[in-house]
Amino acid sequence: MEPPKISFYSEISLMMFGFGDSHTPNPETVSLVESITLKQLRTLVQEALKYSDGKNIKGEELVFLMRHNKHKMRRFIKYLMNKQNKLAIQKMQTNLAFEVDGSDRPKGDLMEFIERIDETGEFMDLSEVDEVKFQRQLRADRISQALDEKKYLEFCKARCASFYSKETTHRSLDKLRLWVDPKKEINFQPEGLDVLGYYAYQTVAEIIDYALLVRMDTKCGTDPLKHLAGSYYTATMFNGKHHFENGNPDYTKVHNSQHAISVNEIKEVMRRVTTPQAGRLNFGGKLPETHFLFAI
């Protein structure tokens, strides 16, 4: 008897809307993004197995793959800190004697592992502005300004979507485990699945980021100023007509003149990411398999 087919189609569809796609993403595009995300997660798992015993994956092996990108490591550290603060608040609500701001609060195994491999201290330096995060927040702000109250609430729900379903965390992790490893050949520790879920979320986010940049390239023409930060989101994606022309605007487009991200736009993203560009100094050697993995 074959195991039931696992799919994160509905979650990815919501995430795509939350990251800037149409209110109703193209079904074929969602399926393609799901396929790319799954393939990248499985590649990440195989890469992480090189640093383990070949059968068991903890969080450390997956986090170690991010060591070459300080910006993504910092983003993950903020994720761990937010998760820790959320747990602290929940504990405070059940135990009034618990101190939320306690400096002696346990950091967690993953945070301690990052501190051990952070020889220069650049991973833990969170003072630098996260440009990618800022652009995502700017895009979300522009979208929220174009929505009425009902659609804004739907947008907020989409912004909260992730690879953790509404059921208990344990069930959600099992779904992710079966999606990535349907034959159950790998033993994932809970922290490993948590990191894998984070990687999956970041993969979808970066695919949409790049797809919108591809769209921007097709619209900017020969105007060199079109590439200035913020100009695309305010001038190209959002124009004044949206607020005043229709009493009942079509929110399936999120904003005026914005259509759903197409399959071809996603394919162009993958072409640019996977194809070596002219001038890249690889000295004729084969690029590593991880060079196109969005999450690391």
DSSP codes of every residue in 41-72: HHHHHHHHHTTSSSSEE-HHHHHHTTTT-HHH
pLDDT at 259: 87
pLDDT band of 275, cuts 50, 70, 90? confident
Read off the pLDDT of each residue in 13-30 and give the average, rounded to a whole number: 95
Q: 217 or 234: which carries more pLDDT confidence?
A: 217
Max alpha carbon distance in the chain (Å)?
63
Query: What CA–CA distances, in Å, run from 294 to 7, 152, 200?
Result: 20, 28, 9
Sorted by where each begins, the domain ranges of the chain are: 9-60+130-273
pLDDT at 54: 82
Q: Which of 169, 173, 81, 180 is nearest to 123 (CA)?
A: 81
pLDDT at 165: 62
Q: How far apart are CA 46 and CA 69, in angstroms?
A: 19
Read off the pLDDT of each residue in 272-278 and give the average, rounded to a whole number: 75
pLDDT digits (tens, 9 = 90+) for 180-230: 999 999 999 999 999 999 999 999 999 999 999 998 888 766 565 555 544
pLDDT at 90: 74
Those residues whose C-beta lies under 8 Å from the C-beta of residue 67, and which sit 6 or more positions away, are 73, 117
pLDDT > 70 in the chain, percent: 75
pLDDT at 256: 47
pLDDT digits (tens, 9 = 90+) for 157-178: 999 999 986 554 555 688 999 9
**pTM higher than 0.75, yes or no?**
yes
Domain 9-60+130-273 sits in CATH at 1.10.20
pLDDT at 277: 64
Those residues whose C-beta lies under 8 Å from the C-beta of residue 139, and which sit 6 or more positions away, are 19, 20, 212, 233
pLDDT at 236: 39
pLDDT at 290: 75
pLDDT at 246: 47
Mean pLDDT, the chain, whole residue set: 82
pLDDT digits (tens, 9 = 90+) for 47-99: 999 999 888 999 999 999 999 999 999 999 999 999 888 877 877 777 755 55
Q: How far apart are CA 189 and CA 194, in angstroms?
A: 9
Above 80 in pLDDT, residue 233? no
Read off the pLDDT of each residue in 27-42 and give the average, rounded to a whole number: 98
Q: 219 or 110: which carries more pLDDT confidence?
A: 110
